[in-house]
Chains A and B, each alone.
Chain A
Amino acid sequence: MLSYLSRRILWIIPVLFTVSIITFALMHAVPGGPWDSEKRLPASVQARLNAEYGLDKPVHEQYISWLGGFVQGDLGPSYRFRDRRVNDIVADGLPTTIQLGVMAFILAVLVGIPLGIFAALGHNRWPDYVSTSLSIVGIATPSFVLAILLIVIFSVQLGWFPTGGWKTPDAWVLPTVALAGFPIAVIARYTRASMLEVTRKDYIRTAHSKGLRNQSVVSRHMIRNALIPVVTILGPTLAFLVTGSFIIERIFSIPGVGRFYLDSITTRDYSLLMAMTMLYAFSVAFLNVVVDVLYAYIDPRIRYS
């Protein structure tokens, strides 16, 4: 197990390397640059800025210098925010984004799993229909629509929560709910599906035929085994939370790094874009390993060599 784990973690490095090369190449293939503005900068000024930031060098040279900085932990200067370094920008916003993502994740698990179990136990009766309908609404409503609805109802009309920001704990509520909407629905559906699959399995029928009371059958066998496939979608769920946060952060004016995920493309802030990509790729790759390990831990049938 340990050798498997260390091999998987080591594999993250070439994965990150490949992602960085593809992103860097694509980024420079896109027309336009960091100095684009409606009121055009004089050509001489653009040339000067390009020289200052090394944009006049060939792309592979730029990549090497970026890589050199990256391995030393220096993410470079921001192209858009001219007096700031990317390290500071990320350090400012990352804790907030992580906090939002973790809170949404916990909410999604705490609400989604019981909802799915509830639906499975009441299969084909009203609990199932209600829960499935809620899941469909959660999946079908785009997060930005959900966010605006929450703001209009709970902030503007009722005044229970602020419309945005991240200063006081009451500002955390609406964004967390808006971000968790989709994962709750997905987790609920997967939990329900895997619970139903488990009920049909042989060992449950065996337990039933042995005369075990329904309750203990449910709690001991079904739930634990049903959680196994659910763990597999936790990975993509966490990945969704990272990317989904950018819309939520924008609408709720939350000072995290999620919004830079998209903004850096529009403003062609190359170094910030690379930083965001590496952050995302690392989180996904790492979480993938965590999920696989968790999977092996929970399901005794799986053994990694």
Chain B
Amino acid sequence: MATQVAVQGRAEQRGRAGASLWRDAWGRLRKNRLAILGLVLVFLLLFAGIFGPIIAPWPYQVQDLKAVFAGGGGPLPPGSPDHLLGTDQLGRDLLSRLLDGARISVSVAFVVQLVILLIGVPIGALAGWFGGRLDNLLMRFTDVIYAFPDLLFIILLSVAFRETFFGKALDGLLLVFVAIGITSWVTVARLVRGQMLSLKETEFVEAARAIGVTDRKIVTKHLLPNGIGPVIVAVTLGIPGAILAEATLAYIGVGVQPPRASWGSLIAEGQKYIRSEPHLVVFPAIAIALALIGFTFLGDGLRDALDPKLKGKQ
């Protein structure tokens, strides 16, 4: 009895040691200038995404045709007091549409990664924990997903289900996000599996098993929290890919329903005017670039901060 309590106590200490891992990581993160820049950019994106409609000077679909005709027809260039960043050919304010696009990018960031986590983590965990034939089966399943032409799948899926309720949710974006998520979870699954494989042979797991902690508790209370670091990094670094995927899909014509506009569809529309009114492409491209920079630097910083080999060395 006494030994059990003692062992359990030490196991809990390990858990607490896990908590201080996070505090160490935060300390390291704070010192990384690029990572802080990334964090700031991500916060700006979140802010724009949440408060965009409130701070936007125009509703995103209103067409200021009077201004367009007064300017001689065609999109307005940036600089006028009513339209700081200019308008498109129908007189819709670019700044307001960029802010609306921020909401979509924020959704991309979260919904896609959520889908990836919901599918990838359980599959990876199961494969890694049980190993053997289940592992083999699941890994071959990921091979199929990996080999599948993702663009094709996303387009087919979007087109096939466009008319359903699911397809119309969030102006058609939910379908796109889920489709992107379904084709992108392989990396996270493999990562979680790898973590599971290496962690399950460690001593404290053997000890926990020895005192009779159930498999499920081992996985959920010990392995996942300790192995979650690389997964967070992968998720953060996966967001740029998802944002870019949405932009490419917008170019093809799959994705957000008008009159809403994502940054990707703004670029796709604007690139027709690249010779005469480049501001229609430049501003959304800058917005995408800032978002990508933000998530990339933040992800790099998190990876550096959570690397256990660096503990105490920096």
Contacts and interface: CB of A to CB of B under 8 A. Distances in A.
A174 B247 CA distance: 22
B271 A141 contact: no
A305 to B, nearest CB: 13
Interface string A260-294: 01100100000001001100111011001000000
B224 interface: no
A165 to B, nearest CB: 21
A304 to B, nearest CB: 13
A47 interface: no
A198 B240 CA distance: 25
Contacts of A27: 156
A273 B251 CA distance: 20
A144 B271 contact: yes
A166 to B, nearest CB: 22
B156 A26 contact: yes
Contact of B140 (A14, A19, A137, A141): A14
Contact of A288 (B143, B153, B288, B292): B143
A148 B280 CA distance: 14
Given A140-B293, A200-B309, A243 B151 contact: yes
A174 B285 CA distance: 21
A139 interface: yes
A120 B129 CA distance: 36
Contact of A284 (B146, B240, B264): B146
A99 interface: no
Interface of B: 140, 143-144, 146-153, 155-157, 159-160, 163, 240, 244, 247-248, 251-252, 264, 267-268, 271, 274-275, 281, 285, 288-289, 292-293, 296, 300, 309-310
Interface string A222-265: 00000000000000000000010001000000000000011001
Interface in A114-159: 136-137, 139-142, 144-145, 148-149, 152
A26 B157 contact: yes
Contact of B147 (A19, A137, A141): A19
A216 interface: no
Contacts of A200: 309-310
B56 to A, nearest CB: 23
B292 A139 contact: yes
Given A15-B140, A142-B244, A145-B281, A285 B147 contact: yes
Given A144-B271, A148-B274, A136 B151 contact: no
B153 to A, nearest CB: 7
A282 B146 CA distance: 11
Nearest to B161: A29
A30 B148 contact: no
Nearest to B293: A136
A18 interface: yes
Contacts of A193: 300
A4 to B, nearest CB: 13
Given A16-B147, A262-B252, A288-B146, A26 B274 contact: no
B293 A22 contact: no
Contacts of A22: 148, 153
Contact of A261 (B148, B149, B248): B149
Contact of B160 (A26, A273, A276): A26
Given A145-B285, A200-B309, A281 B274 contact: no
Given A15-B143, A243-B151, A285-B143, A136 B157 contact: no
B31 to A, nearest CB: 12
A140 B149 contact: no
